[in-house]
């Protein structure tokens, strides 16, 4: 079970990274073009946050199974979990600005996503086998 969870969690990260890049590109375009969010833009953002939420859920399940098997945690496990949870908060925080005009919403959302994405990259690098394994 642990190996299956590890493969799922590790493999999903590539989809999360691709969706994250797509979301950031969409937000850059909206910010630069000073345009409204289109339905397709919102779909890209929702796909990314959905994939990221699934990744966090798999990570939490993996952590619970890991601990229940009596395998100890090392400092980088704690750093990885904390970093990824902070990133999850940053990805969901822009919902606060959902009803704001695009000129306000897009740059703030872009900032949250950029910081969150940087944390994701950092969190992956914190693991000894995190990149590119």
Domain ranges of the chain: 2-126
- How does pLDDT run across 40-95, given as a tens digit for each residue? 999 999 999 999 999 999 999 999 998 898 888 888 888 999 999 999 999 999 99
> How confident is the model over 93-123, as pLDDT tens digits?
999 998 899 889 999 999 999 999 999 999 9
pTM of the model: 0.90
- Ramachandran angles phi, psi of 52, nearest 5°: -65, -40
Encoded tokens for 68: 């229940």
Identify whether the C-beta of residue 79 lies closer than 8 Å to the C-beta of residue 122.
no
CA distance 1 to 91: 29
> From residue 98, how far is each of 19, 36, 86 by CA, in Å?
20, 12, 20
């Amino acid at each position: 079970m642990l190996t299956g969870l590890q493969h799922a969690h590790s493999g999903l990260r590539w989809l999360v990274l691709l969706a994250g890049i797509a979301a950031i590109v969409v937000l850059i375009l909206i910010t630069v073009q000073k345009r409204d969010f289109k339905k397709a833009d919102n779909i890209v953002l929702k796909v990314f946050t959905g994939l990221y939420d699934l990744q966090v859920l798999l990570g939490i399940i993996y952590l619970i199974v890991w601990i229940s098997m009596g395998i100890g945690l090392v400092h980088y496990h704690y750093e990885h979990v904390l970093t990824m949870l902070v990133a999850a908060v940053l990805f969901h925080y822009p919902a606060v600005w959902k009803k704001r005009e695009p000129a306000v919403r897009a740059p703030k959302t872009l900032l949250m996503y950029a910081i969150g994405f940087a944390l994701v990259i950092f969190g992956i690098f914190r693991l000894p086998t995190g990149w590119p394994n």
